[in-house]
Amino acid sequence: MAVEILQTGKLLESCEEALASRFTVHKLHEATDRDTVIEQIGPRIRGIAGGGASAELIARLPSLEIIANFGVGYDNVDVAAARARNVRVTNTPNVLNDAVAELAIGLMIALARRIPQADQFVRQGRWLKGQFPLLSELNGKTVGILGLGRIGKEIAARCQAMKMRVVYHGRHRQPHEPFVYYDKLLDMARDSDWLVVIAPGGRNTEKVVSRQVLEALGPGGFLVNMARGTLVDEAAMVEMLVSGKLGGAALDVFENEPQVPEALFALDNVVLSPHQGSATHQTRTKMGALVVANLGAHFSGEPLLSAVV
Ligand code: 8YV
């Protein structure tokens, strides 16, 4: 009998095919009555493919052994509940570093040079009536990276290619990195022109980019969030972008996505992106393959490829 697993969200076709060839897959995200489905098949489910495993869901799957999360961030998995039940958790690190870092740089240039607005300016025929305003460049500016992890390092390397000065803040100084370390985010924000947020989400980092940090970044400063909306005090950010107390923001993630604060839609000093960091064919294929490989390894009794628990 094939091992039965629960799929919690839509995955790439190649990934779904690979899962189906190996497991009996139950697609929870397609169920109209999730409660009844979980009640019926819950006791037989030994793995989750996807993400979004709450403590409540974990509790209803008594045979669960592994949660293979589709994504490097696993703030949507109740890790404590998994650990308490000896349920393994895997994520999809590394394979998305380049894609996320590329988009970060893309959004930074888009914001600095107002590329989306310039495109509208041309399309709407406004160029015929006047000039687009002069703006600023990335080179020569200081970028503070909040979270110099695997993706943060790729962003740092690309910022260097943009001739920016890179500094960082995180839980620990990384002595082998060539960048200046700040042990206080507030101090880094004060000294930076750009603040790039690429630290994990979850309770530990909730609203670490507080109003105070945004004030330190100031009217000439730009915020870039590639991580999770939960890291930023979104209400404060919106108010400060509207009033000009914060220079601008390039945002790939939001506190309550896909809901985006409407006040942002009217602003010129903002570039918005619908959580696209890893959203390329090549990266999503690799992420899906890693989900399948982790499940395969687990049920063959082999070491997991990328375990977080
Ligand atoms: C999403 C991401 O997981 O990897 C992460 O942590 O934020 C993204 O890659 C992806 O959008 C899947 O929903």
Catalytic residue among 26, 88, 169, 228: 228
Would you tell me how many other CB atoms lie within 10 Å of the CB of residue 262? 8
The token pair that represents 135 in the structure block: 């703006």
Residue 1 confidence class, pLDDT cut points 50, 70, 90? confident
Q: Residue 52: what pLDDT? A: 87
Q: Is 275 a catalytic residue?
A: yes
Catalytic residue among 13, 39, 137, 257: 257
Residues 117 and 224 in one domain: yes
* Inter-residue contact 263 to 242 (CB < 8 Å): yes
Residues 138 and 227 in one domain: yes
Q: Residue 20: what pLDDT? A: 97
Q: Nearest CA to 113 among 219, 205, 222?
A: 222
% of the chain exceeding 70 in pLDDT: 100
Q: Is 169 a catalytic residue?
A: no
Average pLDDT of the chain is 98
Residue 309 lies in a domain: no
CA-nearest residue for atom 4, ligand 1, is 71
Residue 286 lies in a domain: yes
Residues 117 and 249 in one domain: yes
45 CA distance to ligand 1 middle (Å): 24
Torsion of CA 270, 275, 280, 281, to 10 degrees: -150
Residue 51 has pLDDT above 90, yes or no: no
Average confidence (pLDDT) over 279-300: 98
Average confidence (pLDDT) over 133-161: 98
140 CA distance to ligand 1 middle (Å): 31
Q: Residue 113: what pLDDT? A: 98
Phi, psi of 42, deg, nearest 5: -45, -50
Could you write out the three-class secondary structure of the chain? CCCEEEECCCCCHHHHHHHHHHCEEEEHHHCCCHHHHHHHHHHHEEEEEECCCCHHHHHCCCCCCEEEECCCCCCCCCHHHHHHCCCEEECCCCCCHHHHHHHHHHHHHHHHCCHHHHHHHHHCCHHHHCCCCCCCCCCCCEEEEECCCHHHHHHHHHHHHCCCEEEEECCCCCCCCCCEEECCHHHHHHHCCEEEECCCCCHHHCCCECHHHHHHHCCCCEEEECCCHHHECHHHHHHHHHHCCCCEEEECCCCECCECCHHHHHCCCEEECCCCCCCCHHHHHHHHHHHHHHHHHHHCCCCCCCECC
Residues 13 and 118 in one domain: no
Average confidence (pLDDT) over 41-54: 96
Residue 230 lies in a domain: yes
Residues 56 and 118 in one domain: no
Q: Residue 40: what pLDDT? A: 97
Residues 223 and 142 in one domain: yes
Sign of CA dihedral 145, 147, 148, 149: negative
Residues 203 and 217 in one domain: yes
Residues 83 and 168 in one domain: no
Residue 306 lies in a domain: no
Residues 169 and 28 in one domain: no
CA-nearest residue for atom 2, ligand 1, is 71
* Inter-residue contact 226 to 197 (CB < 8 Å): yes
Q: Residue 59: what pLDDT? A: 98
- Ligand 1 in contact with 149 (CB < 6 A)? no
CA-nearest residue for atom 1, ligand 1, is 71
Residue 109 confidence class, pLDDT cut points 50, 70, 90? very high
Q: What is the CATH number of the domain that holds 209?
A: 3.40.50.720
Instruction: Tell me the residue range of the domain where 52 lies.
Output: 4-95+281-299
pLDDT in tens, 203-232: 999 999 999 999 999 999 999 999 999 999
* Inter-residue contact 79 to 103 (CB < 8 Å): no
Q: What's the structural domain count of the chain? A: 2
Tell me the pTM.
0.97
